[in-house]
Amino acid sequence: MTNKQTGRAVRRLTAGMLALQIGITAFGVPAFASKVTIVSPHGVETLSPEGAIQSTGTWDVGTRAGDYVYVAGMRGIDPTTNKLVADEEGRIRQAFLNMKLIAESEGATLQDATRLVVYVTDMYRYRPIVNQIQEELWGKGPYPPRTIVEVDRLNQDDIVEVEGTFYAPEKTSKAAQKGPSANGTNVSPNGVKTLAPQGAIQSTGTWNLGTRAGDNIYVAGMRGIDPATNKLVSDEEGRIRQAFLNMKLIAESEGATLQDATRLVVYVTDMYRYRPIVNRIQEELWGDGPYPPRTIIEVDRLNQDDIVEVEGTFYAPEKTSKAAQKGPSANGTNVSPNGVKTLAPQGAIQTTGTWDLGTRAGDTIYVAGMRGIDPASNNLVSDEEGRIRQAFLNMKLIAESEGATLRDATRIVVYVTDMYRYRPIVNQIQEELWGDGPYPPRTIIEVDRLNQDDIVEVEGTFYAPKK
């Protein structure tokens, strides 16, 4: 271990001990257990369970924030050697097992997964293996909502990366180890409800349409499939509209409206051709807004060589969800029917389309994909390092406007257009901003294109309980 690594380990251990002491003072309960837990100012726990892979950069393997467990993009690294598994099937299986271990360390099972995103570098070659591995691990299901996309490159020129979110309320997490489902229903051990509303499309593989976990609704990547035929709509505009309508139907089945969307990720296979259509459809469906935080990226391939896929998260507290049907906003403010607050803090960049900067939903803050736009001019910073730094600073400003710090980040996804060129700069900027860590769980992928042919986009989720 180098002097720098030793220093980092000592400082992180000290930070964790201090956080635990704060926890004892604040809550009057013993915080010391079998492992040291590093806790952020707002209670985000950085996870490093025994037997897990070792992080090798400016990321950690997972976080717990409230009732949710967030796992970084996992690859097929053997935790006994910290090297990639050689054969493809074994590597893909190991990626899922690495994710499983981290989730289980916090009392979640695979059936408690609320969403999965699987990045592959060859859809035709690896998607069947992903399906096979999920059948092995989840059995007959139910399966989590899943989005699977083909991207240009993963770290170390790898073949697959799996990012997951799990639900494990602390009061019930110990009981979660008992079995794969509760009483044979579509509710997991920890209370994740699998959604299959009437009139929705039919899932055709190892995925389901959506889940409800606590107050949040997670919708799988939706494509423009006509639910009456379960086939793709033929014309491009109609197909893109149908993708949004399919997402809308699932959200509404749990009492959410489109205005209750907390985040959207839109995957397209041609940014120039399809982004204007996406904007137009969102104007139709959301009217004059407010709009959800959005990240739109161009990827190599979607399932069935499709053109668009839309993944969404919604907020609908069960105690208020019935009232959500009343209208698009509450008293004309920037707060949705179910209490999603749209963020536009002073000093932030200005939005230029059918998206807003961020949302607060309960204790969670969602930030749209941020690029290196100078808020003083609303133009991109010219030099690459400065632009990447500005993207992170733009995210930081929005999070801080709601009382969160960078250490309260529960997950980030970094999209770059050149892994070899920009990943080292991303790491350098994160070291500047996070210091010696801990760092949030991170997924970094190389994509075909970002808006305005940009080089980097950073999407983040933060935790800051209301006082």
| pLDDT tens readout for residues 180-205 | 443 345 899 999 999 999 999 999 88
Q: State the pLDDT at residue 19.
A: 39
Asked whether the predicted pLDDT for residue 322 surpasses 70, the reply is: no
Cβ proximity of 440 and 395 under 8 Å = no
- The type of residue at 428 is Q
Q: The tokens 């009232």 sit on which residue?
A: 323
Cβ contacts of 165 within 8 Å, gap of 6 or more? 68, 69, 70, 71, 113, 114, 115, 218, 411
* Mean pLDDT (the chain, rounded): 89
Specify the pLDDT at position 467. Answer: 73
Pair of tokens at residue 333 = 């403010």
Q: State the number of CA atoms in the 13 A half-sphere of 111 facing the CB.
A: 24
- Please give the pLDDT value at position 352: 85
Given the structure tokens 């040291």, which residue do they identify? 36
Check residue 2 and report its DSSP letter.
-
The beta-strand segments (E) located in 201-332 are 210-213, 216-222, 225-226, 231-232, 261-268, 294-298, 301-302, 308-315
Report residue 233 CA to chain centroid gap: 28
Residue 219 forms beta bridges with which residues?
210, 312
CA triplet 264, 366, 321: central angle to 5 degrees? 75
454: helix, strand or coil? coil
SS3 at position 162: strand
Question: What element of type H or E holds 153?
Answer: strand 153-154
pTM of the model: 0.90
Q: How far apart are CA 216 and CA 115, in angstroms?
A: 11
Measure the CA–CA gap between 167 and 103, rounded to whole angstroms. 9
| Region of 78 on the Ramachandran plot (φ > 0 left; ψ -120 to 50 alpha; else beta) | beta
Q: Tens digit of pLDDT for each residue in 206-242?
A: 999 999 999 999 999 999 999 999 999 999 999 999 9
